[in-house]
Structure 1
Amino acid sequence: MFTIFGTTALIISYFPLYYKELGFSSTQVGYLYAVGPLISMFSNMIWSYASDKYRTIKKIMMLLIGGQLTLLLFLTQANSFGAVFMIISLFYFFYYPVYPLADTMAIQTAKRYNRSFTVIRVFGSIGFALFALGIGYVISLAGANRAVVIGIAIGTVTLILSLLLRDGVVKRSGGMELSGLVKMLRSKEIFWFFICVFALALGHRMNEAFLTLTMAQLGADEGLIGWSLMLSAVSEIPIFFLLSKYGDKIKELPLLAFASLMYAVRFVLMGIVSDPMSVLAVQALHSVTFGVFYVTAVRYISRLVPTDYQATGMALFTVFWSSASGLISGTFGGGLFESAGRVTFYYLAAALAGLAAAGFMWRHIFHRD
């Protein structure tokens, strides 16, 4: 989890700067950001369904990490937008499915050793924080063109560590059947949850894709951008520990509504700020936005989805949280950021988060067992 989320810090936060180094426009950066979610809409389901069917996470994760490394090697030789677009498209086929599989393995490992999933997942936050800061300083010294080489180094370490993983053995209640998957997808409770997740994810991915460019626009250097990313990741850690101890005592839907409302506040403040130091302060809200939302959402979806479909359920969550939302925010976000400006961009994100908060509370108040 530590090294996997180190890769996340690089791909999400510093690859936009790498694309800028190659001379790509904000709109082109948006397209490069959007192609990943487009690819992952089916790659997540393919790999996670295979994991559930063949009952192995370890082997598939190793295959995915190996694929990432191969594509990064090709990326070092690409300079034109067309070549980068093609390689990145293939890269994302192997990149996105790692995360729902890693979360599923963490859930299984927690059950095996009678530990909390949250305590395992917190190492992802620690990895993201330390890598975000470290990569920021390396890039400030060596240049954004070193981003791909850094990715190869992190991926190599991750592949070596994956050899030590242990597959979870889950007893099937009745075997994995496609009809059971269809029945799960027809659940009104799951459908409503995914719609609310999608609305919130649109705002979250808009901020994620253009945070580093926003800070650069406000005059921040790579070192300060690294501190901003580290601060947001570190802020998750105490929240994760609190939720691991007390989270089960609070119903999921009100917690999800609270997190969505705090997202709206965070995005409004991002529209107001006028200097990079203010962005650092706003980033502290990552704790009560993503920190609360993610742990609670995983707990909620784990309760709703049968054991036989655990990896597939997490993949569906990832499709709505990362893939579909990232596709739309990346495709239209770049143009909106350029044409309407940062303020309008973040106010729209805030409105989407407010809509999600209303949806979660509506379901909580009017839900009938």
Structure 2
Amino acid sequence: MFTIFGSTALVISYFPLYYKSIGFSSAQIGYLYAIGPLISMFSNMIWSYASDKYRTIKRILTLLLIGQLVLLLLLWQVSGFALVFTVISLFYFFYYPVYPLADTMAIQTAQRYGRSFTVIRVFGSLGYAFFALAIGYVIGAQGVSWTLAIGIALSVFTLLFSLQLKDGVMNKVEGMNAANLLRLLRSRELLWFFGCTLCLALAHRMNEAFFTVTLSQLGAGEGLIGWALMIAAVSEIPIFFLLSKYGDNIKELPLLAFASLMFGLRFLLMALAADPIVVLAVQCLHSITFGVFYVTAVRYITRMMPLQFRATGMALFTIFWSSASGLISGAFGGILFEHAGRPFFYMLAAMLSVLAFAGFLGRHLLAKPGQVYDEGIGG
């Protein structure tokens, strides 16, 4: 988890700066960001469904990491937009499915040893924080050209760690077929949850795709960018521990509504910010936005999805939280950011967050007693 989420800091936050350094426009950066979510919309389902069907996470996770390493080596050799676009598309086929599988393995490991998932997930935040800061200083000292070399080194370490993992006990479960999965996907509860998640994710991915570009426009150097990313990741840790201890006492939908409202406040402040130091302060809200939402959403999915579709359920959540939202925000966000400006860009993100708040809160208030909280979708 430490090295996997360290790679996230690199790919999500520093790849845009690398693209900018080799001469790509904001619109081109948006397209490169968008192609990953487009690829992951089917790659997440392919690999996670295979994991559920063949009852293994470790072997598929290792295969994905090998694919990432090979494609990073290829990406190091190209610089034209068309070639970069092709190679990064293949890279994302192996990159995005790692996260739902890693979370599923973390859930299994937590259950095996009687620990909380959030305690294991904290190491992802620590990895993101450490590498966000360290990579910022390395790139600041050595140049943006080191971005891919760092990515290759991280891939090697993650692959070596993956070889030491142990698959959970995944006994064969009845009902593991596509027909049951399709019936499950027609559940009104899931559709409502994923619809609200998509609204919030659009706002979150808009910020994620152009956060480092925003800081760069405000005059921040690579070191300050690293600190901004580290502050966000470190702020998650106390929230994860608090939710691990007390989160089960609070129903999921009110927590999701609260996180969405705080996202709206965060993006409103980003629209008004005119100094990189102000942006650093706003980053502290990451704890009660992403931190609260992510842990609560994983708990919701884990409770609602039947055991035989656990990895597939996490993949579906990832598709809405990362893939579909990243595709839309990447395809249109670059154009919007370039032509409408940063304040309007973030005001739109704030409005989407408030829409998600209304959806989660409305579902909580309008649901019949016992309809949502007393029983999962799987019965």
> How many correspondences in the alignment?
369
Task: Name the structure 2 match of 1:139.
Answer: 139
Superposed CA deviations along residues 197-231 of structure 1, whole A, max 9, x for unmatched, are: 00000000000000000000000000000000000
Task: Name the structure 1 match of 2:84.
Answer: 84
Q: How does 1:88-103 map to 2 (within 5 A)?
A: 88-103=88-103
Q: What TM-score do you get using the length of structure 1 for normalisation? A: 0.99
d(CA) in 1 for partners of 2:48, 2:238: 30
Task: Name the structure 2 match of 1:219.
Answer: 219
Task: Name the structure 2 match of 1:48.
Answer: 48
Moved more, 161-170 or 217-226: 161-170
Three-state SS of the structure 2 residue aligned to 1:265 is helix
Task: Judge conservation of contact 2:15–2:147 (CA < 8 Å) in 1.
Answer: yes
CA positional deviation for 1:178: 1.2
d(CA) in 2 for partners of 1:118, 1:250: 15
Q: Which amino acid aligns with 2:295?
A: V
d(CA) in 1 for partners of 2:335, 2:213: 14
Task: Name the structure 1 match of 2:377.
Answer: none
d(CA) in 2 for partners of 1:119, 1:13: 24
CA positional deviation for 1:171: 3.0
Task: Name the structure 1 match of 2:206.
Answer: 206
d(CA) in 2 for partners of 1:16, 1:67: 21
CA positional deviation for 1:175: 4.0
Q: How does 1:165-314 map to 2 (within 5 A)?
A: 165-314=165-314
d(CA) in 1 for partners of 2:89, 2:171: 36
d(CA) in 1 for partners of 2:26, 2:169: 46
CA positional deviation for 1:173: 3.9
Task: Name the structure 2 match of 1:162.
Answer: 162
Moved more, 165-174 or 4-13: 165-174
Task: Judge conservation of contact 2:55–2:171 (CA < 8 Å) in 1.
Answer: no
d(CA) in 2 for partners of 1:165, 1:188: 36
d(CA) in 2 for partners of 1:140, 1:321: 31
d(CA) in 2 for partners of 1:231, 1:223: 12
d(CA) in 1 for partners of 2:194, 2:46: 19
Task: Judge conservation of contact 1:66–1:159 (CA < 8 Å) in 2.
Answer: yes
Superposed CA deviations along residues 72-98 of structure 1, whole A, max 9, x for unmatched, are: 000111010001000000000000000
Task: Judge conservation of contact 2:56–2:170 (CA < 8 Å) in 1.
Answer: no
- Identical-residue share of aligned pairs (%): 70
Q: Which amino acid aligns with 2:299?
A: R
Task: Judge conservation of contact 1:172–1:307 (CA < 8 Å) in 2.
Answer: no
d(CA) in 1 for partners of 2:210, 2:312: 30
Superposed CA deviations along residues 285-313 of structure 1, whole A, max 9, x for unmatched, are: 00000000000000001111000000000
Superposed CA deviations along residues 11-62 of structure 1, whole A, max 9, x for unmatched, are: 0000000001110000000000000000000000000000000001000000
d(CA) in 2 for partners of 1:184, 1:115: 29
d(CA) in 2 for partners of 1:177, 1:18: 43
d(CA) in 2 for partners of 1:241, 1:287: 11
d(CA) in 1 for partners of 2:173, 2:364: 29
Q: Which amino acid aligns with 1:342?
A: R
Task: Name the structure 2 match of 1:329.
Answer: 329
CA positional deviation for 1:169: 1.4
- For the aligned residue pairs, the C-alpha RMSD in angstroms reads 0.6
Superposed CA deviations along residues 318-345 of structure 1, whole A, max 9, x for unmatched, are: 0000000000000000000000000000
Q: Structure 1: 5+ residue runs without aligned partners?
A: none
Structure 1 outlier segments of 4+, above 6 Å: none
Task: Name the structure 1 match of 2:122.
Answer: 122
Task: Name the structure 2 match of 1:5.
Answer: 5
Q: What TM-score do you get using the length of structure 2 for normalisation? A: 0.97
d(CA) in 2 for partners of 1:204, 1:225: 18
